[in-house]
Amino acid sequence: MTQRRKALFLTKIILIFVIMILVGAMAVWGGGIKLRVTAEQANIREKPDIMSAILQQLPEGATLEAERKEGEWFAVLVEKQEGGFILGYVHESLVMVMEEAPPEQPQQREQVEEQGQAVVKPVEKKREEKRERLNLAFWLGSRHAAVGDLNDGAEGLARYYESRLAAAGDGEVEALHSGYLLGAELRIPLASGFYLALGAEYSSGEASSSVAYKEGSSEALYSTKPWLRTIPISLALLYYPLRFLYLKAGLDYSFARCAYFYRFSTPDPFEQTESWQEWTGKASSSGFGYQLGLGLEWPLGSRISLIAEAAFRHGRLNDLEGEDFYQESTNYQSHEQGTLYRIRATAGGPETFPLVFIRDREPTEAGVVDVRKAELDLSGYSLRLGLKVRF
């Protein structure tokens, strides 16, 4: 399986998880308010109305969870006899909030009419707002980035040899776009529904490919393998319009390191030897960018949730500095430190080809018609799947 197919397969798997969580979250609300039945019997009704049909009856002491409160009614999920869940309502006079309600005070009571019967309702103190908690999220996933000049250089050199040898190439140069990622994020509560998120992530990807050239009895092989590693540090704001859905926007500062590898070889069938040349270059840079994201949460327990997040990141890095190491079959070697450049060069004809190399100064050789500093484009999307733990 090629690198591109592996990345596409991983992306499809994560997309399936995101869709499953979205459907599950909409079908099953994640409960947030723990309740206990205080009356001899609590009626779970179809609508927040005492004349509405009864879906289920719960005995005193039974516990349940409510997603929200609508006036004097709690919205709860109840299990149907035939399976599945349905949203129902229970009156506040029949239940008590387990963690926040004070002990019952018998001397202070009032009555509520329900289907013509008087129901005793304890007078409770005003319920405090649910306290937001510090939490930690960690995930793994897949990232897709544009990359840009590094891919152009690998493809351009293949076409350069094709023009110079006047031979059609057998094979394609695979562009580097996708890779895996893993990361973590500390989320600090600011206000109801708002969090400040401090995060760090590591992503890595590479793409290997080769092109064979054959013209008559002459043969040649070109191989290439660009790779990219990034570590973005992020500061973002999260907002939860719903308990299971959040929006994210923030700034990134990314540290990136990229590399190229080019190898051109021509075997000699008579001498049973091979003539070859290799270039290996590594360069790094850092800079600011931004991200926008959409996330879903599916509670697995009182303090742990499954999270799925899709995000778009934008960032471009210039001034890539590094070193190039050149060697060939004659045992000649050279080492050069400098800047990663993108040039356009000819192979003896009118057509020009994009090439990417590290040079200690701006290239001015014969055949070079355009020179600029190479750019690393980190813009793209990421899909993440992980867990969130509340402290």
Two structure tokens written together for 11: 């992306």
pLDDT of residue 211: 95
Q: What is the pLDDT along the chain (391 residues), one digit of tens a residue?
A: 454 555 555 555 555 554 554 444 444 444 468 889 999 899 999 899 988 988 888 899 888 888 788 889 998 877 766 655 678 899 999 999 885 444 444 444 444 444 444 444 444 444 444 456 799 999 999 999 999 999 999 999 999 999 998 888 899 999 999 999 999 999 999 988 899 999 999 999 999 999 999 877 778 999 999 999 999 999 999 999 988 999 999 999 999 999 999 999 998 766 667 899 999 999 999 999 999 999 999 988 878 999 999 999 999 999 999 999 999 999 999 999 999 999 999 988 889 999 999 999 999 888 898 999 999 999 999 999 999 998 8
Contact 222, 262 (CB under 8 A): yes
Contact 316, 376 (CB under 8 A): yes
Could you give the 3-state DSSP secondary structure of residue 22? helix
pLDDT of residue 65: 83
Contact 256, 229 (CB under 8 A): yes
The length of the chain in residues reads: 391
Could you give the 3-state DSSP secondary structure of residue 100? coil
Could you give the 3-state DSSP secondary structure of residue 298? strand
**DSSP annotation of 173:** P
pLDDT of residue 76: 87
Contact 122, 38 (CB under 8 A): yes
Backbone angles phi, psi at 116, to 5 degrees: 80, 0
End-to-end CA, the chain: 42
| Domain spans in the chain, listed from the N-terminal domain onward | 33-122, 133-390
Could you give the 3-state DSSP secondary structure of residue 216? coil
pLDDT of residue 82: 62
Two structure tokens written together for 21: 């969580």
Backbone angles phi, psi at 36, to 5 degrees: -130, 135
CB atoms within 10 A of CB 374: 26
CATH number of 33-122: 2.30.30.40
Residues 6 or more apart in contact with residue 220 via CB below 8 angstroms = 161, 165, 167, 212, 213, 214, 264, 265, 266
Q: Which candidate, 339, 317, 129, places its Cα nearest to that of 231? A: 317
Two structure tokens written together for 109: 């009571």
CB atoms within 10 A of CB 2: 12
Tens digits of residue pLDDT in 34-75? 889 999 899 999 899 988 988 888 899 888 888 788 889 998
Fold of the domain spanning 133-390:
Porin (2.40.160)
Contact 108, 123 (CB under 8 A): yes
Q: Which helix (H) or strand (E) holds 62?
A: none
Tens digits of residue pLDDT in 195-250? 999 999 999 999 999 999 987 777 899 999 999 999 999 999 999 998 899 999 99
Contact 105, 124 (CB under 8 A): no
Query: What is the torsion angle, in degrees rounded to the nearest 10, for the CA atoms of residue 82, residue 85, residue 89 and residue 93?
Result: 90
Could you give the C-alpha distances from 108 to 99, 111, 124, 125, 306, in angstroms and in order?
Answer: 21, 11, 9, 11, 43
